[in-house]
Amino acid sequence: MVSNLALAWFLDRARQLLSSPAAIHRLNVTSGCLLIAVGLVIPFV
């Protein structure tokens, strides 16, 4: 039960943080950069 409450709290907090278009844009840019970085690292591993 405690883990379900913690998950619900975390999801509520994430929803509040991503409620603005600027926050969603930052998330998309960050995710894109991380995907590019992973794509560049994979050939060398």
Is the separation of the CB atoms in 42 and 34 below 8 Å?
A: no
Is the separation of the CB atoms in 18 and 24 below 8 Å?
A: yes
What is the Cα–Cα distance from 27 to 38, expressed in whole angstroms?
A: 16
Domain residue extents for the chain: 20-45
Residue-level pLDDT, tens digit, the chain, 45 residues? 999 999 999 999 989 988 999 999 999 999 999 999 999 999 998
What is the Cα–Cα distance from 22 to 32, expressed in whole angstroms?
A: 15
The model's pTM: 0.66
